[in-house]
Structure 1
Amino acid sequence: MKIDNRPWYWIPVLNFASGLPYAIIISVSVIMYKNLGINNEDIGIYTSLLYLPWVIKPLWSPFIDLYSTKRKWFLSMQLLISLAFLIVGLTIPLSNFFVISLAVFWVAAFASASNDVASDGFYLLALEKDQQSFFLGIRSTFYRLSMLTGNGLMVFIAGYLEQEYGDKQKAWSYTMIIVGLIMTIITIYNYFSTPKTESKIVESYTETVSNKSFTVVFATFFQKKQIGLVLAFILLFRLGESQLLKMLTPFLIDPVTAGGMGLTTQDVGVIYGTFGVIALTVGGILGGIAISRDGLGKWMLPMILAMHIPIIGFILLSHFHPGSVLYVYATVIAEQFGYGFGFAAFMMYLIYVADGESKTSHYSIATGFMALGMMLPGMVSGYIQEYLGYGNFFIWVFLATIPGVILSRFLIFPADFGKKTT
């Protein structure tokens, strides 16, 4: 049943609420710990372990499917996330901040993973398939915009406060408190903007899944066609990206003598928070429109290549270290546009994989494997970078994208999947 729920009012902010905690926990924590004196090896290991809640979220996603409403779940989880970031901000000045902040980040990560399950399920249940494909680009774009808000605006604020106070601990403490307040405001907005009639939207669906046990819901995912190939593709698709994301910020911040680009925290925030945001927005919107117009089959390979080819830019930066920051801007713009444009294909494919009964749980399982594919390579990325150096590391990252490209050519799915039917 098609519901007139004004999706433009809630899809952007709901997905922003999924991306911002992820960005802070997985990406911004890397910058924070780097500036607070933690070495690359520890950063790679411990911040990659923060992926674990997203990896194992399929273990509890059936409970979100079977108990209460998706709306209640994501609102309560967003509130918990808000409190967690406030606590992290208050603990940074402590002498044992590293252990305490990691523990609180873990709580926030579990809440964020649960929020993702509920938000994804709400999206899949509240919209028709043609709406899903149309809004996929918008959804992906605002998710990435929230990540760039973390990696851009929040990092810029931290860099500004570092210069203002001359105290990195105070700067990052205030920054985390600001993030907590932003999440609180977002939670309040989502409370008023998201449809409050979910029981009507999912009545028939709830009746179907309520008779399913946890085991059945979980097991049916592994009975899907091509499941071995599907899981291999999901695990390997982001093999290169998982390592790139962990070591990219250290590369930009480390001095040229250490192989980096020697940028300040504020520089990194500006680069990702301005032109990066614009490039990502344009790429994400075009990606969603392309799939909605022509279907996934036509765009799968071009979009995957659009994501991976910009890594060559970082290879060039790490080998030639150009003096002008404009080269860094150009590389980031290409990378962000390619990501926004290309990631729409991967997410649309995951929607195809999850299609059918128990789609919320199955989508959660698929994204859980995706998170596993991000966590394991990310854990060793610091050691690989230290061994290879930045120049050879980025070459390795580019080579690591090849298995996912090859596997994508063997996937079977309807060529017109996601195409607008009207």
Structure 2
Amino acid sequence: PWVIKPLWSPFVDLLRTKRFWIIVMQLAIGGSLACVALTLPANNFVRYTLAMFWIMAFSSATHDIAADGFYMLGLSTPEQAAFVGVRTVFYRVATIASKGGLVILAGTLHQRGYPVASAWSVTFVVVGAFFLALCLYHFFILPRPEADRSAPLDKGRGVVSEYFRIITLFFRQKDILIIICFFLFYRFAEAQLVKMVAPFLLDAREKGGLGLSTAEVGWIYGTVGVVALMLGGLLGGYVIYRNGLKFWLWPMVIVMHLPDLAFVYLSHAQPENLWIIGAAVAFEQFGYGFGFTAYTMFMIMVSRGEYKTVFYAIGTGIMALGMMLPAMSSGWIQEKLGYIHFYYWILLTTIPSFIVTALVKIDPEYGKKASG
């Protein structure tokens, strides 16, 4: 749903406030999680859980639209720059909690005698209760920005015609082809590299990999790498807040791609020292987090205007497409080239990123805190 969420994003702008959508979608996600917990012990649980997961995914994508819009409406541009790294941190914390914490909880319950279905039911109950508590908390605590209101309908237009008008407004922006190319190609190399990091670390040495255990990969990539990524994002947000996006755009694109050389080294040397491997992964992830900040701020920049929520949703949809398509082919390319030549290929595919960076136009003051 995250790739196609721009299709219904205008309705989030046209119908009710972003605050309303955030709270309702959290309620829907919490309810869906609770329903999954109830259906897991059933005989035909697959059908019901798939339906609940579909509702959950749709609700999550809609929540994403509303939360991004609320972020832009509730904060000034310099504040958006300052906190963009914080957003990345909490996204990564949520990823670790969902992919690691929930599995650990379910596994612990199973070890203590719970059947597998019951262990996961309890886990989903806990997560569902957490989301419902968040919904209640945000109902009372979430601010009510004056700018957070339904987008006005043009006189004489219905919701459907207004829907198509808003969508077309995004694609009628000045330099829209350059903007779309930036969305698609800024992370063209990273989309391929990130997809193959875990296989490279896990694959046997005779296959060109580093032959690490699952636990070692979890520690290096899932812990050290994530911490480095978050630190890069935090630093990126801070420096844009200090000097603006234009000032830091080129340093960020360079810092994002320069660490790709670390994987060229790893593929050649195949070191066994975990500190060396961890340092190389941390170097690459820090650069990625730092450089991705510029990408996020550029999306916010081109989403200015009356329909910023819709525009940002379209941008993130194109962004998801720009990650998905290169990643789909990365495994096939690696199999054909081998790891050493694959990482040389990654260096070659950084060129489109530098080209689109040279083409975009950015106000020198954008993202910078007000002087004085």
Coarse TM-score class (shorter-chain normalised): 0.7 to 0.9
Over 3 Å counting, the alpha-carbon distance change for 1:207 and 1:366 in structure 2 is closer
TM-superposed CA distance for 1:89, in Å, is 12
The within-5 A match list for 1:176-187 is 178=123, 181-182=126-127, 184-186=129-131
Aligned to 1:370: 319
Say yes or no: does 1:69 pair with 2:17.
yes
Over 3 Å counting, the alpha-carbon distance change for 1:385 and 1:350 in structure 2 is same
The within-5 A match list for 1:349-360 is 349-360=298-309
Aligned to 2:137: 192
Q: Which runs of 5+ in 2 are unaligned?
A: none
TM-superposed CA distance for 1:398, in Å, is 2.8
From 278, 282, 292, the counterpart of 1:329: 278
Deviations 1:373-412 (A, max 9, x none): 1111222222222222222222222322220121111111
Say yes or no: does 1:139 pair with 2:87.
yes
Over 3 Å counting, the alpha-carbon distance change for 1:132 and 1:414 in structure 2 is same
From 210, 214, 219, the counterpart of 1:265: 214
With normalisation by structure 2, the TM-score equals 0.83
Q: Distance in 2 between matches of 1:219 and 1:91?
A: 43
What is the identity, as a one-letter code, of the residue corresponding to 1:74?
Answer: I
TM-superposed CA distance for 1:122, in Å, is 1.0
TM-superposed CA distance for 1:107, in Å, is 5.0
Is the radius of gyration larger for structure 1 or structure 2?
2
Aligned to 1:3: none
What is the identity, as a one-letter code, of the residue corresponding to 1:322?
Answer: P
TM-superposed CA distance for 1:186, in Å, is 4.6
Say yes or no: does 1:403 pair with 2:352.
yes
Over 3 Å counting, the alpha-carbon distance change for 1:253 and 1:135 in structure 2 is same
Aligned to 1:294: 243
From 217, 234, 242, the counterpart of 2:191: 242
Say yes or no: does 1:208 pair with 2:152.
yes
Q: Distance in 1 between matches of 2:209 and 2:45?
A: 29
Matched residues, percent identical?
41
RMSD over aligned Cα atoms = 3.6
What is the identity, as a one-letter code, of the residue corresponding to 2:137?
Answer: F
Q: Distance in 2 between matches of 1:126 and 1:189?
A: 19
What is the identity, as a one-letter code, of the residue corresponding to 2:178?
Answer: L
Aligned to 2:174: 225
TM-superposed CA distance for 1:58, in Å, is 0.8
Q: Distance in 2 between matches of 1:88 and 1:249?
A: 31
Deviations 1:201-257 (A, max 9, x none): 335x52536767101111110111110111011111121222223222222223223
TM-superposed CA distance for 1:143, in Å, is 2.2
Q: Secondary structure at the match of 1:54?
A: coil
With normalisation by structure 1, the TM-score equals 0.74
The answer to whether the Cα contact below 8 Å between 1:251 and 1:390 also exists between their aligned partners in 2 is yes
Say yes or no: does 1:420 pair with 2:369.
yes
Say yes or no: does 1:283 pair with 2:232.
yes
Deviations 1:252-283 (A, max 9, x none): 22322333222233222222343334323322
What is the identity, as a one-letter code, of the residue corresponding to 2:203?
Answer: D
What is the identity, as a one-letter code, of the residue corresponding to 1:206?
Answer: S
From 119, 122, 128, the counterpart of 2:76: 128
The answer to whether the Cα contact below 8 Å between 2:39 and 2:49 also exists between their aligned partners in 1 is no
Aligned to 1:17: none
Q: Which runs of 5+ in 1 are unaligned?
A: 1-52
The answer to whether the Cα contact below 8 Å between 2:12 and 2:21 also exists between their aligned partners in 1 is yes
Aligned residue pairs, count: 361
Over 3 Å counting, the alpha-carbon distance change for 1:73 and 1:257 in structure 2 is farther
Over 3 Å counting, the alpha-carbon distance change for 1:317 and 1:237 in structure 2 is same
The within-5 A match list for 1:107-118 is 108-118=56-66
The within-5 A match list for 1:153-168 is 153-154=100-101, 157=104
Over 3 Å counting, the alpha-carbon distance change for 1:311 and 1:209 in structure 2 is farther
Over 3 Å counting, the alpha-carbon distance change for 1:236 and 1:71 in structure 2 is same
Over 3 Å counting, the alpha-carbon distance change for 1:149 and 1:184 in structure 2 is same
Say yes or no: does 1:303 pair with 2:247.
no
What is the identity, as a one-letter code, of the residue corresponding to 1:376?
Answer: L
The answer to whether the Cα contact below 8 Å between 1:319 and 1:391 also exists between their aligned partners in 2 is yes
Q: Secondary structure at the match of 1:357?
A: coil
What is the identity, as a one-letter code, of the residue corresponding to 2:310?
Answer: S
Say yes or no: does 1:56 pair with 2:4.
yes
TM-superposed CA distance for 1:178, in Å, is 4.3
Deviations 1:73-105 (A, max 9, x none): 23443455454598499879x9998x9988876
The answer to whether the Cα contact below 8 Å between 2:228 and 2:285 also exists between their aligned partners in 1 is yes
Deviations 1:147-206 (A, max 9, x none): 35456x449849x959x97xxxx69x9689747744652552354146667665335x52
Q: Distance in 2 between matches of 1:249 and 1:178?
A: 27
Over 3 Å counting, the alpha-carbon distance change for 1:209 and 1:392 in structure 2 is farther
TM-superposed CA distance for 1:302, in Å, is 0.7
